[in-house]
Structure 1
Amino acid sequence: MTLALPPLVDHHCHGVLRRSPDADTFTSHLTESDAPAAPGTSFFDTQLGFAVRRWCPPLLGLDPHCPPERYLERRRELGADEATRRLLRASGTGTYLVDTGLPGDLTGPAELAELGGGEAHAIVRLESLAERTADASHGPEAFVEVLDHAVAAATRTAAGFKSIAAYRYGLGLDPEPPTAAEVHAAAARWLDGRTPGERLTDPVLLRHLLWSAVRTGLPLQLHTGFGDPDLRLDRCDPLLLTDFVRAVAPYGCPLVLLHGYPYHRHAAYLANVFTHVYADVGLALSHTGARAEAVLAEALELTPFGKLLYSSDAFGLPELYVVGARVFEEALTRLLDAWTASGAWSGPDGERVAHLLAAGNARRLYGLGPDPS
């Protein structure tokens, strides 16, 4: 089957570096590790590294699988803006939903959209919003009041919210909203002696952030599963959210379980049995590369086809937008070829589901309207 997909809606991604990275910086974006590669090895020798070398060199005028050194040299020859423009526009992405909470010299949504020739919307990271508010606050009462106003104000421009509570505490939080007294006491504890930039890890305040977002009704993205060593993977199983999912149901807030791997089947179960839960395996597909077909097939075992969304989770390197898109499209094409050839699916149904995963589900969920193309 030859898929004719609409422009992709990348519902979870990040900015890219404004300057050309050196070799070490480039390869550091090919892994979730925060440590160097083992002596005598390179992060190019990973599924993600091989995928970059397969899909990206031809976009810069080189042969597929060219040596990494030649690829990085060509990147420097073109310069950061030109390389980024070529790569982003070749990804087939039409809409970027950008998590703006990461530090560093990264492009914002408007810059990303201009370079990529598409449109962009912000996803507000709750913990970063709280930390910025704390840096400028004058006492716990003012902090809580300003934070609540900031969440409300964000709804006027943002497409949704995101939480990394999985990193800061784990997903086994008390599912109920904290009381006002609990929130003020927690704020006082956290702010007492806090230095600017200190990260939020207090479970009461994390719960307050989650429930503040839930009450807005906008989609709330939740990191689950695979990530860098800041997290404890055993605390990131989405099944730990089951009671929270139940508690949120009456509020009508969609919960989007990001990444999932290796718990993507658990996320699929939650999406299957709860109306307001959606799933995504973007990061998992990029990092599993040639094995992405198997991961996507497992996600589609239980996830209703109207509730699985495409994302790249690209960060720092425009190459990761290309890899996210190509790996997704190739994995999906292979699955649909097999399922339609066996008679399990019809061709028209396969095409329809492919359009849902690529863009339709995200457009509906985030209120983006019909495909402008």
Structure 2
Amino acid sequence: MASLDSLRHLVQTHPIIDNHAHNLLSRDVACDYDSYPLESVTSEAHGRALENARATLPLLRATNQLSELYGSLCETWDDVLAAHSRWVQDDYDGLIRRSLEGTNALLLDDLLSDDDVESYDWHDRFTITATKRIVRIEAVAASVIGDLMSTERKEGETVWSKFRQQFLEAIDRAMDDPAVVGFKSVICYRTGLDVDPYSGDEDLLTASLHRVLDSGTRRSGYRVEEKPLNDWLVQQTLKAITFKKRAGVVKPLQFHTGLGDNDISLVKANPAYLQPLIVQYEHADIVLLHSAYPYTREAGYLACVYPNVYLDLGEVFPMVSREAQEKILRESLEITPTNRLLWSTDGHFHPESFWLANRQFRQALEKVLVEYVQHGDYTVSQAKTAAADILFHNSNRLYRLNLESKYVDGSVLSKAQTSLPSFPLDAFLLKNPDIEFVWMQWVDYTATIRVRMFPIEEFVRIARKQRRVGITLSVCCMLQDDTLLPEGTPTGQFYLEPDLNSLYRNGGLAKSAAPSATVMTFWRTEDGAPLDRCPRTTLRNIVDKLHAEHNIQLKTGFEVEVVFLKPTQDQHTGHVTGYTPAAANHSWSRMTSDTRRLVPLLEEITQTLASIGIKLEQFHAESAPGQFEFVLPPAEPLAATDALLAARQVIAAVAEQHGLHATLHPRPAPEGAGSAAHAHVSITPTTNENAFLAGILKYFQSIAAFTLSSEASYERVRPGIWAGSEWVTWGFQNREAPVRKIEAGHWEFKSLDGLANMYLAMAALLSGGYMGLESNLPLTVKECTVDASTLTSSQRAELGITTPIPKSLAESLDALERAPLDKLLGAEMIKDYVTVKRAEMVRLQAMSLEKRRLWLLERY
């Protein structure tokens, strides 16, 4: 039935606002199962009681469903733990992104824990709109008490008066904070929901506060667990909410109700106890959290008869069985208006808690609403309105989020107008609604960028994981002209997974081309696991390893050096027969008559890059005829490399529109200076910078197999052409050293050019740094202030400069096969890489010098 299909489609794909959740664990502790047991995603039990969770229906159901999330079969909870650990190690961001698919906004109670969790705004990367805060009032009170005990009081100032003033000021600040959209009370846990609606006696409150002070310490903290004081906190918050509402500021108060840990009073968790308070503060919006289970009917009644009460449907998904979830949903619909029902996951710590809650809620909501339509209780239109309200619109209105839902009814997805599963894609298409095609790209071992193009509707299916894109494994042993080497095989494939963080609009293409975008990809195995031979995975792994094991944060920035050439064509065939520089009267950082003619091209490139989100830091003429440099902004290594490739594509496309060819050839004019791809790398903290640099210098010859990846690259390994000269050394602001130190923990690496697979090149550089840190290598190479090739051998020896930069690709590959880089970069990848590069070398050496030069110019 088509109309029911449209209802099912809406329930399963409409974006959601998660109106109550908690922070995720940082990656470092996400597998600390002793402190944060994964079983807690389906159980409120703790300690020994949690050991029984594996025998519960909710956990067994979760075990079966999580196979879908992980992309691998889970038959036991141990399988789940193993899969979770793999995802955390290999792609924690990817696991979170999958778990939050379809989430438009998160409202986080970020005071559940002060330790081991990411900040609320860190979660923004996974949602369409900025994460908002729900302020827990008991945590605010505990914080005020802690501050109170560490500061002196003024003469005549009592503990109570100072606490009262500071608590009210903290609530007032939260009321004025645009990041805060509401408050929460856990009085249900502390003293129960039988809250006195009227403020207590000051002597009683003072005594209550002193008992809290006596029960804690500044080190252990203070748990506010005194009924007079807890009631007062709620009363004062509701007064502030009521007062601010008159000025147009609406921030509800959420109450934990029903289901909870074993320290809750189950009897006093019944929201019916709140009825006097609800009546007293009739102008304050109140949200009853967690379906109030097992008191759903009582909560639904309150939301029905009081206009300031809302019922949240969270936490029971995935904490109870499927039948119980459906029963709770039906009970909530018995008399509660659907515009008073809100959705939340109560997700916390582990990404799986979000995924399971969202998946199971959508399943239950679809079943219940479809049955109501089939029985004539709802029309399809009424059921769809109810679903959209519960999933999105009710929270949007209540918390004054002012968000737009781009959901379009129907089964066919339509560009940015459709709600899509992942934040980067949603946000990108909202800004670029005209996109018709997406190019999925990957870079092989010859640094050839390969591409598959998809209409936007098909790409959305790929992003939703509704279809896969298989690529033959033979690309790991393939040359630029698609020749499969004998060591390769036509059997087997991997799957492209788009990295939605790398989406860029294509810029500079011909005006007749439809609007399109480019996305880089990861390589996945048949079961969805990362493939070690993937260049982007290789880079991401070493970055993560440096962070996890040495607490190193990395930033990378690139300088794009490019030479603009004029093609010369055969008059009869139109084929390109050669190239000449676009500017002959040309030199470094100088404006000449030839350079000025190219200014419109340079400015168009800069403007086009800015239009796709890449804002250059500067651009200028370089030394070789027709050569220019574009300096990109710094970013994390993977993002910086993605931006580098996107920028190069724009430069090449804009140049083509001007009738020019942009080349990355390391030395297109033998008589001119070389053309590089200098990389800036900075590490934080800088404590062990010498060991990091020492590792790179020690393994420099093997690293060069990736950074100087073609025989043509070694045409730059010469003295006197500002390319880093011939010796492995470093120097502060020395531009004739292969490594220029700029400041503490910040270096420029010059022995790198545009023929490199930049993901592998950066991975190799960082691997050298990692090995230096692991071994705490001393920096035996002293600072060099001149071109080391101008020194005598004894002068170089005094500086510890003993290693030459390889003079050929063969030398670098030999060094790579001797070095232990395979432990970090992967033995299979290095084996295939060496095979490809040696075969490429043989292919090029068989050509004449001029044919070889033209062959490379056409491809790079």
CA contact (8 A) 2:197 2:280 kept: yes
Q: Deviations over 1:102-161 (max 9, x none)?
A: 123122211222245553100000001000110010533222111110010011221100
Instruction: Name the amino acid aligned to 2:24.
Output: V
Give the alignment of 1:16-165 within 5 angstroms. Answer: 16-18=24-26, 19-24=29-34, 25-37=37-49, 42-63=52-73, 65-79=74-88, 82-83=91-92, 85-91=94-100, 92-103=102-113, 104-116=115-127, 118-138=129-149, 139-157=159-177, 158-165=180-187
Counterparts in 2 of 1:71 and 1:33: CA distance versus 1, 3 Å: closer
The correspondence for 2:265, drawn from 232, 243, 246, is 232
CA contact (8 A) 1:166 1:223 kept: yes
Secondary structure at the aligned position of 1:332 is classed as helix
Instruction: Name the amino acid aligned to 1:43.
Output: A
Deviation at 1:179, TM superposition (A): 5.1
1:8 equivalent in alignment to 2:40:
no
Q: Deviations over 1:287-309 (max 9, x none)?
A: 12412111111111121110010
Q: Deviations over 1:269-323 (max 9, x none)?
A: 0001001011012112321241211111111112111001001111111101011
What residue in structure 2 maps to residue 247 of structure 1? Answer: 280
Counterparts in 2 of 1:81 and 1:234: CA distance versus 1, 3 Å: farther
Q: How far apart, in 2, do the equivalents of 1:96 and 1:21 lie? A: 23
1:339 equivalent in alignment to 2:372:
yes
What residue in structure 1 maps to residue 308 of structure 2? Answer: 276
Q: Deviations over 1:222-241 (max 9, x none)?
A: 01111001111011111111
Unaligned runs of 5+ in 1: none
TM-score by length of 1: 0.92
Q: Deviations over 1:313-350 (max 9, x none)?
A: 11111101011111111111001111111111100110
Q: How far apart, in 2, do the equivalents of 1:216 and 1:199 lie? A: 23
CA contact (8 A) 2:41 2:318 kept: no
Instruction: Name the amino acid aligned to 2:186.
Output: I
CA contact (8 A) 2:182 2:399 kept: yes
Counterparts in 2 of 1:195 and 1:116: CA distance versus 1, 3 Å: same
Secondary structure at the aligned position of 2:289 is classed as strand
TM-score by length of 2: 0.41
Counterparts in 2 of 1:311 and 1:172: CA distance versus 1, 3 Å: same
Counterparts in 2 of 1:114 and 1:180: CA distance versus 1, 3 Å: farther
**Which structure shows the higher helix fraction?**
1
Q: Equivalent pairs: percent with the same residue?
A: 28
Secondary structure at the aligned position of 1:10 is classed as strand
Secondary structure at the aligned position of 1:297 is classed as helix
1:204 equivalent in alignment to 2:232:
no
Counterparts in 2 of 1:48 and 1:109: CA distance versus 1, 3 Å: farther
Instruction: Name the amino acid aligned to 1:49.
Output: L
The correspondence for 1:355, drawn from 368, 388, 393, is 388
Bigger Rg, which one:
2
Q: How far apart, in 1, do the equivalents of 2:367 and 2:108 lie? A: 29
Counterparts in 2 of 1:317 and 1:48: CA distance versus 1, 3 Å: farther
1:257 equivalent in alignment to 2:267:
no
Q: How far apart, in 2, do the equivalents of 1:55 and 1:206 lie? A: 40
Instruction: Name the amino acid aligned to 1:10.
Output: D
Q: How far apart, in 2, do the equivalents of 1:314 and 1:142 lie? A: 36
CA contact (8 A) 1:159 1:219 kept: yes
Secondary structure at the aligned position of 1:79 is classed as helix
Deviation at 1:164, TM superposition (A): 0.5
Instruction: Name the amino acid aligned to 1:211.
Output: Q
Task: Out of 8-17 and 26-35, give the one that drifted further.
Answer: 26-35
What residue in structure 1 maps to residue 665 of structure 2? Answer: none
Task: Out of 99-108 and 291-300, give the one that drifted further.
Answer: 99-108
Counterparts in 2 of 1:7 and 1:81: CA distance versus 1, 3 Å: farther
Counterparts in 2 of 1:187 and 1:22: CA distance versus 1, 3 Å: closer
Q: Deviations over 1:41-90 (max 9, x none)?
A: 65233233234323332222213x53322232222223258245434444
Give the alignment of 1:209-228 within 5 angstroms. Answer: 209-217=233-241, 218-228=251-261
Q: CA RMSD in A?
A: 2.1
